[in-house]
Structure 1
Amino acid sequence: MSTHSPRRSTGTDIALIAGFAALIAICAILPSIKLAGPVPITLQTFGVLLTGAVLGPRRGFLAVMLYLAVGAAGLPVFADGRSGFGVFSGPSVGYLVGFPLAAALCGFIVTRLPRKAIQTNVPLIFAAGLVSSALFIHVLGMAGLVWRADVTWAGAFDIDKVFWIGDIIKNVAMALVATAVHRAFPDLLHRRPAPQPESVSTA
């Protein structure tokens, strides 16, 4: 029988969602790297994928959505201290839309791994982050560039490809941190309890 009440579990979930939303905001407002193109390089991807890998798909998705909602409401938590709905009409909109989906997919993949792998297998966690980033952040990011920056898909790819080396490094760091967190807090991910054998009573 679980010793954790539903109220305590809900309170913990809310605290974790809020805490990781704040972490993503910190990663976003740290000084960005300006290269050619309209989208700066920040640590947002690290924070987003770490959130999914640590919290799992549902809470990871909610944490990133909370971060986006706070930024849309006017707090300067987006890259370069930007805020407001206007950011979602700019060239980075595709990347922002891809963030919660990437966190959810990364969390989904991680929760399907054996507990030992979650705690120790850095390459597997790295792969989960890289696949999630590629499928959602980069693909939707390029779609947003085509839509809002008035470039072709080839031009969008030329802009997006400069992020890949940095993303590989950030995913390595994410995997190292995520495995360390899960070693320290092995029950952080919600898992279904193993079925208990039915007891046989005798008359």
Structure 2
Amino acid sequence: MKLLDITYVALLAAFMGALGFVPPIMLSFTPVPITLQTLGVLLAGGILGAKRGFLSMMIFLLLVAAGAPLISGGRGGFAVFLGPSAGYLISWPITALCLGYLISRFSKLRFGRILFINLTVGIFMMYIIGIPVQAFILHIKLTNAIITSLVYIPGDVLKATLASYLVYRLAKSPAIKRNLHKENSPIDEPLEAKTEA
């Protein structure tokens, strides 16, 4: 990995930490707050690509596990991985990896396409991992956890829309195309390029 790649990964991890300083919205009926850090996860995959996005989220979570209070609300330490939000935290690197992989399949990115991927894969991935873990830790029925989590959908749709727009705009930059979406592995080559080969 080149120095520039490391710089981008570190910057995204730092951006996630900065989002953690935005106060969370606490809800009376669930211990899992509404935060802006979901936005950072979606940007990690869309801007950095699969490998770098995954790495940036892993670095961020390692810092949190080491005690850095970077989770929204000033939370940090290994204890956060044992709480109701644990599943969502664990899903972040996986989500960034999947988003980066899918978005990098296309040499021509359209806003609607990015938004569709963010909603159907990005947000869904966080829910499908986060909600069952939340139900398990809180000792509640999965159906109850699903119903409670419906409150997150409007905010997550807004964050997915904003992330998609930012990725769409940044993807037009030659520097972003050259430095961020050029992966070393064949797995990250655009679908159109593979077809032409």
TM-score by length of 1: 0.85
Query: What's 1:179 paired with?
Result: 168
Aligned to 1:149: 138
User: Partners of 2:66 and 2:82 in 1: how far apart?
Assistant: 15
Distance 1:132 1:25, change over 3 A: farther
One-letter amino acid matched to 1:183: K
Matched, 1:24 2:13: no
Alignment of 1:125-164 (within 5 A): 125-164=114-153
Q: Aligned partner of 1:186: which letter?
A: K
Partner of 2:186: none
CA contact (8 A) 1:28 1:43 kept: yes
How many angstroms does 1:111 deviate by? 0.2
> Does 2:188 correspond to 1:190?
no
Structure 2 gap ranges (5+): 184-188
Contact kept? 1:103, 1:132, Cα under 8 Å: no
Q: Residue deviations 1:66-87, cap 9 Å, x none? A: 1100011011101210000000
Matching of residue 66 in structure 1 with residue 55 in structure 2 = no
Name the one with the larger strand percent.
2
| Cα separation, 1, equivalents of 2:6 and 2:123 | 28
The worse-fitting range, judged by mean Cα deviation, of 132-141 and 70-79 is: 132-141
Which structure: larger Rg? 1
1:9-62 deviation digits (Å, cap 9, x = unpaired): 611111111110111121222111112311000111110011100011110000
Letter in structure 1 aligned against 2:86: V
* 2:8 is aligned with 1:42: no
Q: Percent identity?
A: 33
* Alignment deviations for residues 136-163 of structure 1 (CA, whole Å, 9 cap, x no partner): 2001111111111111111111221111
Letter in structure 1 aligned against 2:177:
P
Tell me, what secondary structure is at the counterpart of 2:5?
helix
Q: Does the 8 Å contact 2:123/2:156 carry over to 1?
A: no
Which secondary structure state, in structure 2, belongs to the residue aligned with residue 86 of structure 1? helix
Deviates more, 1:168-177 or 1:151-160: 151-160
Question: 1:127: how far off?
Answer: 1.2
1:110 corresponds to 2:110: no
How many pairs align?
183
Letter in 1 for 2:163: M
TM-score, scaled to structure 2: 0.88
Equivalent residue for 1:101? 94
Unaligned runs of at least 5 residues, structure 1: 1-8, 196-203
User: Alpha-carbon deviation of 1:179?
Assistant: 1.2
Root-mean-square deviation (CA, aligned residues, Å) is 1.7
One-letter code of the match for 1:22? A
**Most deviating of 129-138 and 148-157:** 129-138
Please say if residues 53 and 103 of structure 1, whose CA atoms lie closer than 8 Å, have aligned partners that are also in contact.
Answer: yes
Deviations 1:155-194 (A, max 9, x none): 1112211111111100100011111111123322115596
Range that drifts further, 24-33 or 96-105:
24-33
